[in-house]
Structure 1
Amino acid sequence: MNDIEDPVLLHTSGRAAHITLNRPRAINALNHAMVRRIDEALAVWERDPGVGTVVLSGAGERGLCAGGDIRAVHDDARDGDGTASAAFWRDEYRLNARIARYPKPYVALMDGIVMGGGVGVSAHGGVRVVTERSRIAMPETGIGFVPDVGGTHLLARAPGGLGTHLALTGAQIGAGDAVLCGLADHYVPSGSLRGFVDDLAELPVRAALDRHVQPLPAGELAGHREWIDSCYAADTVEEIVRRLFAHGDPAAKEAAETLSAKSPTALKVTLAAVRRAARLGALERVLEQEYRVSCAALTTPDLVEGIRAQVIDKDRDPRWSPATLAEVTAADVARFFTPLGERELGLPGPDATSDATAEAAPDATAEAARRAEPSR
């Protein structure tokens, strides 16, 4: 099959239905047609008694999914009115919510590169499998954007300051750190994935996992918790950067230097988005917030400039506007969270309450129960 004509391949094998993202030359980057195709398939399989498990994988050797088609977003923001990008995000975020609440085991094979939109179609699933090749990241601040696809929901729930660190720096993490941060569940060596997938055709997910899951390799972030937790506890990006530079650990200084190269506006909006996400509770409410933020980003110069510098011209020299953190005002940040009125995403789902603690705990409990269900 031609990967341009068939960007999503669907097939069933025994009790398992398979979604294969099939744009290997683009590391399976998601476009609007792919999102709609996946959503349609999930809707059909949800009602199909012959389907016991859904399995998501990526074609090619490089990874599951490198993110969304940001070239299309760049062109729409630069030359269009943003309508196409907003429509794409609307359907993409709805798909993320569907995956998170899917009533059947949804097994995501997070092998190789899994970034941005790739996290959205995998890390909300009930069974998330990583390998020694996994490289997972939300790198949006480097293109003048803000973590979306429910990324701020996931990262807000990572231990201590880990989620804030990953959201602001866009750092890539491997299998051990992905499990530590709540982005994955199980480790299966890449060489065992084929056998695991074959077993899913006949076995319940728990039985297939028992055959192939291996001890989790050690990650790196646990050894950096002291400086991560203390530095990222600050209330502002400026103070976070100051603490990182002052800490003394070489890794903290490296993180500070990384932040110094990111979009100042994106950094401040990202910090606000992650902190707000922790209080919102349900994923649906966070996706609604992310939709407001994403639509606002279309009207700012940094998104076009960031994609130009990193992806189009590849000069890696973006000219951010404003150029410094000090120039980004509270009003600049607040406008990203302005309600959209009739254009709101408006997802069905658990209602938020005014008590952040009360809303977050039940949501976390519900998600833990949902993740445990496919493994029984």
Structure 2
Amino acid sequence: MRQRFTAHPADPASGELAGRTADIARIFSLPSVREIVAALEADDSSRAGDTVAVLRKRSPLMLHVSLRLVREARKLSLADELRLERDLVRHAFHLRPGTASETMEGIRALVVDKDQSPRWKPARIEDVTPEMVDAFFVSPSPKHAHPLRALN
């Protein structure tokens, strides 16, 4: 008989991170990616070290964009959130064309060249500016012409 795989324990309170839920909530509710990473770096647990190592490998710009998306989406209707995500995807490919695109650089590093060494722009979480992030949240389409304008 095959053993059944479950991604999560039946009782989340008994899982590996159960004793750290307060720390996780505290750290990941901090206002910015910079502060989240600094808090993880200050935490002496191996889990925090592993987490910050993964975050430091990802696109600094897209970490900031993703955090803002998650937080803004909480306040939006489903239709508005889907419009915003559609705009973000478009920006991911077109706002910074060619080799300046974080999306294309990630594809290059992981799929094309397979060197596993993306050259992010900017290279560090600490170097991302609010203006860089803000650009992703400006719709390329006026409201009346948005491709998802009919969603309610």
Q: TM-score, normalised by structure 1?
A: 0.35
Whether the 8 Å contact between 2:56 and 2:125 is mirrored in structure 1 is no
Question: Counterparts of 2:23 and 2:46 in 1: how far apart (Å)?
Answer: 10
* Structure 1 unaligned spans of 5+: 1-130, 134-173, 178-215, 350-376
Q: Provide the secondary structure at the position in 2 that maps to 1:298.
A: helix
Name 1:268's counterpart in structure 2.
Answer: 64
Q: TM-score, normalised by structure 2?
A: 0.82
* Structure showing greater relative contact order (alpha-carbon pairs closer than 8 Å, 6 or more residues apart): 2
Structure (1/2) with the larger helix percentage: 2
Question: Counterparts of 1:313 and 1:307 in 2: how far apart (Å)?
Answer: 9
Name 2:82's counterpart in structure 1.
Answer: 287
1:132 maps to amino acid: F
Distance 1:307 1:217, change over 3 A: farther
Q: CA deviation at 1:234?
A: 0.9
Structure (1/2) with the larger strand percentage: 1
Name 1:332's counterpart in structure 2.
Answer: 132
Distance 1:247 1:334, change over 3 A: same
Q: CA deviation at 1:217?
A: 6.5
CA RMSD in angstroms comes to 1.9
User: Any idea what the Cα deviations from partners look like across 1:238-268, whole Å, max 9, x if unmatched?
Assistant: 1100000112221112111111111011000
Quick check: 1:132 aligned with 2:2?
A: no
Task: Report 1:117-196 matches (<5 A).
Answer: 132=5, 174=7, 176=8
Whether the 8 Å contact between 1:227 and 1:252 is mirrored in structure 2 is no
Whether the 8 Å contact between 2:61 and 2:128 is mirrored in structure 1 is yes
Name 1:315's counterpart in structure 2.
Answer: 115
Name 2:106's counterpart in structure 1.
Answer: 306
Aligned with 1:258 (options 54, 64, 72) = 54
Whether the 8 Å contact between 1:305 and 1:320 is mirrored in structure 2 is yes
* Structure 2 unaligned spans of 5+: none
Question: Counterparts of 1:247 and 1:302 in 2: how far apart (Å)?
Answer: 29
Whether the 8 Å contact between 1:309 and 1:316 is mirrored in structure 2 is yes
User: Any idea what the Cα deviations from partners look like across 1:269-307, whole Å, max 9, x if unmatched?
Assistant: 001000001111x32221111111111111232110101
Larger radius of gyration: 1
Aligned-residue identity in percent: 34
Question: Counterparts of 1:333 and 1:321 in 2: how far apart (Å)?
Answer: 12
Quick check: 1:249 aligned with 2:45?
A: yes
